[in-house]
Chain A
Amino acid sequence: MASIYIHIPFCEHKCIYCDFYSVVPAETGTEGYSQRQQYISSLKAEIEILAENKSCNESIGTIFFGGGTPSLLHPSEIEQILDTLAAHFSIEAGAEITLEANPGTVDKNKLADFRTAGINRISIGIQSFHDDDLKFLTRIHSSSEAKKCVKDASEAGFENISFDLIFSLPGQTLSRWKSNLEQAVELQPAHISCYSLSVEPKTPLFYMIQSRQAAQVEMERDADLYEFTIDFLSSHGYEQYEVSNFARRDPASDFKCRHNLNYWNHSNYLGFGPSAHSFWINERWWNISNLSEYIKKINIRTLPVSEREKLTAAQLMEEAIFLGLRSEGIDLNGFRRKFSRDLSAENERVISELIKQDKIILVNGRMRLTAKGYVICDEICQKLH
């Protein structure tokens, strides 16, 4: 089963911490509309060009609209894109189709139209339930709008709703963060992603920290908040299945994000739109991060690829280790079959030490991290060869 990622590179405003590629349209209204239209025809063309040039005979199990702000699109535009995909790929009947939504860009009707267009999972960028946090992060919505959005989404027919929350904001106390988590679980979303605020180079936040307008949270506090998050969510019915991702335990449904799991399982995926990444068998490539350059390339029927890399067996193995560890663990037998290496035997000393420290567990032939292990996931990855 393969996946498709669609990048929507528009935002009403760029948040201070974000380093994903997007542009703020010069104006909303008709000009914004024509820019979007131009982009959507390019996107459709890109899908066609790729489908003509690459035989992708795998069925598509997940589609993800990310950004930028995909919820800025009109539901009919989403429908056009999905129609184009369906014309060129075989989309599975129960495919997971996610849209990232900014609470400041949708109302109940629009959400219902997205649902009708085929979106069946919605990921809402709530980030915080405190208005001053949202103001600091320069989000365009308020806490009450966020809550309203959740309610609207639910009423619009979405069962699979995910929240994005950010912790380790400058000066954030444990009690403030705890109140965010409490408000989140009270709304009972199917899925919660909690990201520690990372300071990416060249973002406004980066310069604020450099000029000491904002103070970066110390590692100790960040660790406290993260460990608390894991404890809190697991005791409130959420299962951690990746460093930052938690799914509501539900006997009837599995709410883990299948799309993201595919990234971490080494499944194939195709990305469309500027800055989108793709992976197919042993090759990774990514598109140029520039909208006008992207459109120019498409206009001359050329794939807008910025760079490609063919992965060596060693690189694939390296990836399998860190992707497996940061998500649902490494299937040791599968690993041995794929890479002819016995990971547990070759790292026996390190692994037994980590088991003793309760950072790794071996269950059903899988080696996976415990809550204590997730906290130092990257440290552990560096120890395994």
Chain B
Amino acid sequence: MENIRNFCIIAHIDHGKSTLADRLLEYTGTVAARDLTKQMLDDMDLEQERGITIKLHAVQIKYQSHDKKNCTLNLIDTPGHVDFTYEVSRSLAACEGAILVIDATQGVEAQTISNLYLAIDAGLEIIPFINKVDLPSAKTMIDTVKKQVVDLIGCKEEEILMGSAKSGMGTDEVLEAIVTRIPAPKGDPAAPLQALIFDSVFDEYRGAVAYVRVMEGTIREKDKIRFFSNGKEFQAEDVGILEMQKKRTGTLSAGDVGYVIANVKDVHDTKVGDTITLADNPAADPLPGYKEAKPMVFSGMYPSNSDDFGELRDALDKLKLNDASLIFEPESSVALGFGFRAGFLGLLHMEIVRERLEREYNQNLINTVPNVEYRVTTTDKEVIYVDNPALMPDAGKIEKVEEPFVKAQIITPTEYIGNIMKLCMDRRGVHKNTTYLSPERADIHFELPLSEIIFDFYDKLKSLSRGYASLDYDFIDYFDSDLVKLDILLNGEPVDALSTIIHRAKSYEWGRKLCRKLRELIPRQMFEVAIQAAIGSKVIARESLSAIRKNVLAKCYGGDITRKRKLLEKQKEGKRRMKRVGSVEVPQEAFFAVLSLEE
């Protein structure tokens, strides 16, 4: 056990975390350079495309240290986006140390700090590594970045490692530091078993596969295991370590990282954060678990074709097997039929789920505009949570509406402070304080309604700071707001899927823009269509879409009927994909029109 090191790599997005992981695998011969597709640990297509690690994975590395110790290093990968803070904390709990990667050309950024704090909270040894020092633009920055790191971690300057994950410079120093600076795991192989499930995936043939870190005791194949959370018992059938593939070893002891397969058919039994013990010799207590991932963003997901509801449910069920943070429940909409209201960690998470449903499960989806969850106190003092604007009680029955607020931390070069302040103010933010990490870098704290940052806040922030500002945020609490429900009506019929909840001060402008956008998106019909935005019974904006004037193919002779029929079939298919509101046909893209409303 004294030669085992369990560690992870944490960084702000794009600072080179996955590249460093690749170098470690290559340098130690865990994987041959020629087999190394760029960023080995990201094996989901989507991850490679987006260059972010979404699902964490673990891999074992064999390394002989300079003093000839044969060490086993377990690298546990972490996701790098603000939506996935929760998953980062899962990985950290399985480690004793973390390499903190900082881009020499960018310096400390918002997630550098948030991830660092998570690691410090988890009691990990931190090894700072300044990456990309070979870039020409790094030269003038290195001393500043070093100072930022010293200030942030409180380490000595000589404890900071430097190198380039891309070229491999500094890889050897990183490996040595892992061995010499990160403590070996503690724990007693003979004690009652306590194994922390830090991830689980579902394998179609083998059932749930739990990724575990054994804290105390030993688990062997044929052992009867028990899950603390639900008391269910299974027989361990396949136990092993995680090299590039699973490698069966038959046993895992205190300090080890590996997998357990126990013929568990329902992945919900292998709950992430749960503790596995042995039925015959159980530990007295579980390990401290994580708090449940809390979905922050909600959206309706409907099949384009109403007949595919069952298929969508199956696809969501399967997806959930590998994504514990996804929640969903059936709902129905007058406009869209039967579908699901799903909760996500953030917008990126939502995008990823949608893309995976479309690519991996061949689903055609309509997504409604995402929203947050509101806390409503009714006039009879009942408190309800509303995650679908259409279900907001009538204004007359509401005593107050509260919305979730977040504490946002934005790190930016000082020249963009003005722009960022304005953006946050426009989004109803309350400035808390600004500190300076260096004369050129500010750390700005705002309290903002979550609803104001879920659409395009991040993109706006990036564009007005030329990509330099970074963001991290954390839920604080629900606070009272002057919110109204804005409905959209087509020829007098409300379109439930287009209802939004919005601050009163912004509702008029919003209503106008939305009506205008819908007028562009809804094709002309055989009759005139009135598009209205209303708060309660009060119409606050109106556009009118005039009736279609002409739609007929002039030429249909020469006997080529096939071409005409195919054209018509195509048009009919397009119509079939539209949703009917009263007698108005609404194309699917109208249901997320709000996302493309320009400022």
Contact = CB atoms under 8 A, between A and B. Distances in A.
Given A198-B554, A322-B568, A382-B571, A375 B549 contact: yes
A222 B548 CA distance: 12
Contacts of B554: 195-196, 198, 243-244
Contacts of A318: 565, 568-569
A31 B554 CA distance: 37
B559 A326 contact: no
A319 B575 contact: no
B505 interface: no
A27 interface: no
Contacts of A381: 568
A223 B568 contact: no
A377 B527 CA distance: 14
Nearest to B571: A382
Interface in A342-379: 353, 357, 359, 374-379
Interface string A96-138: 0000000000000000000000000000000000000000000
A5 B575 CA distance: 35
Given A220-B549, A226-B550, A382-B568, A277 B558 contact: yes
B558 A382 contact: no
Nearest to B547: A376
A220 B549 CA distance: 6
B548 A376 contact: yes
Interface stretch (A84-92, A140-148, A278-286): A278-286
Interface residues of A, number: 43
A252 interface: no
Contact of A379 (B548, B562, B565): B548
A203 to B, nearest CB: 13
Interface string A189-213: 0000001101000000000000000
B560 interface: yes
A310 B516 CA distance: 46
Contact of A286 (B556, B562, B569, B575): B562
A322 B555 CA distance: 13
A263 B555 CA distance: 13
Given A279-B559, A286-B560, A376 B552 contact: yes
A43 interface: no
B149 to A, nearest CB: 57
Give chain B's interface residue range (CB within 8 Å of chain A). Answer: 20 to 34
Contact of B564 (A279, A286, A322): A322
B384 to A, nearest CB: 38
Contacts of A326: 552, 556
Nearest to A322: B568
Interface string A268-297: 010100001111000010100000000000
A5 B561 CA distance: 14
A223 B546 CA distance: 14
A376 B559 contact: no
A378 B559 CA distance: 18
Of B550, B553, B568, chain A has the most CB atoms within 10 Å of the CB of B550
A309 B560 CA distance: 12
A85 B562 CA distance: 26
B564 A277 contact: no
Contacts of A315: 565
Contacts of B572: 382
A284 B571 CA distance: 21
Contacts of B562: 277, 284, 286, 309
A5 B437 CA distance: 84
Contacts of A284: 561-562
Nearest to A266: B561
A353 B568 CA distance: 21
Given A319-B565, A382-B571, A376 B526 contact: yes
Interface in A316-358: 318-319, 322-323, 326, 353, 357
A93 B559 CA distance: 23
Nearest to B556: A326
Given A198-B555, A357-B526, A378-B568, A279 B561 contact: yes
Contact of A219 (B549, B553, B583): B549
Contact of B551 (A220, A357, A378): A378
Interface in B514-555: 526-527, 548-555
B205 interface: no
Given A315-B565, A318-B568, A271 B559 contact: yes
A378 B571 contact: yes
- Ordered nearest first, which 10 A-B pairs have the shortest CB separation? A223-B549, A277-B559, A223-B550, A377-B552, A196-B554, A379-B551, A195-B554, A378-B551, A382-B572, A376-B551
Interface of B: 526-527, 548-562, 564-565, 568-569, 571-572, 575, 583
